Amino acid sequence: MDAEAVLLERLQKGDEGALAELYESLSSNVYALALQLLRSREEAEEVLQDTFLKLYRNPHGFRAERGSARAFVYTVARNACLSRLRAKRARPHKADDLDVHDPDASFGATSAHPSMSVEVRQALAQLEPVDQQLLGEAFFSGYSHGELAARFDMPLGTVKSRVRRALLSLQQFLEKA
C-alpha cells in the first residue's frame, strides 16, 4: 500500500492529522493540475480547497482496486475543474498573466518530481504526433472526446481508440522505464 493510501485509510478512521499529511504530499500537484485546467489562480485555489474538504468529508470513496490513492485525489480535483469548465460552457483561453513555467511567477516551489516529467516527456515522444496532440488536449485542456472529434475533424470512434491506445502505451512505457 502506498503512502497516500495509508493516509486515506487513516482519514477513513477519523484521523484528521492524515489530511494535513495528504495536503503536504499532494497539494502542489493538485494545485498545478487545477491551474493548468482553469488558468485562474483564484479558481485553482478554490478547487484545491474543495478537493481536500471533500476528502475529509468523504474519504470512503477511495477503492484501491480501481487505482492508486493519488489517482483518486487527482480525479476528485480534475472532476471539480471539469465541472467548473462545463458550468462556464467555454474553454478557457490561455491566460496572459499566468505562466506556471515562469520562474519569476510567485508560486513558490518548482517541480517536486523533475525526473517524472522527463520520463513522461520521453513516453509522450514515443506516440504518434496526432496521438500526442489528442492526448495533450484531452488531458491538459480538458476536452471531451466529442469535442476533439470536432476539432480534429476525426470520427469519434477513432478519437476514442487513439486516446485509449495512447494512455495505455504511456503506461507501458513508464512501466518499463
Binding to another protein by residue 171, rule CB under 8 A?
yes
Q: Is residue 145 a contact residue for another protein (CB under 8 A)?
A: yes
The only residue of 6, 92, 133, 160 in contact with another protein, by rule CB under 8 A = 160
Number of residues that bind another protein (CB under 8 A): 77
Task: Give the residue, chosen from 1, 3, 17, 79, that forms a contact with another protein under the rule CB under 8 A.
Answer: 79
Burial class (CB in 10 A: 0-12, 13-18, 19+), 29: middle
Binding status of residue 17 toward another protein by CB under 8 A: no
1 CA to centre of own chain = 21
Decide: is 168 part of the binding site for another protein (CB under 8 A): yes
Segment 24-63, which members bind another protein (CB under 8 A)? Answer: 27-29, 31-33, 35-36, 44-45, 48-49, 52-63
- Could you tell me if 156 and 146 are in contact, meaning their C-beta atoms sit under 8 angstroms apart? yes
Nearest to 164 by CA among 119, 141, 134: 134
Q: Rounded distance, CA 45 to CA 56, Å?
A: 17
Chain length of the chain = 177
> Does the footprint of another protein cover residue 161 (CB under 8 A)?
yes
Q: How far is the CB of 88 from another protein (least distance, A)?
A: 15
CA dist 34 to 10, 56, 122, Å? 26, 19, 24
Residue showing cell 495509508: 6
The CB-of-167 to another protein minimum distance in angstroms stands at: 4
In whole angstroms, the minimum distance from the beta carbon of 67 to another protein comes to 4
Nearest distance in Å: CB 153, another protein:
19
Contact 131, 152 (CB under 8 A): no
> What's the CA gap between 66 and 159, in Å, rounded?
24
Residues 86-125 that bind another protein (CB under 8 A): 100-101, 107-113, 116-117, 119-121, 123
Give the contact letters, 58-77, x = binds to another protein (CB under 8 A), - = no: xxxxxx-xxxx-xxx-xxx-
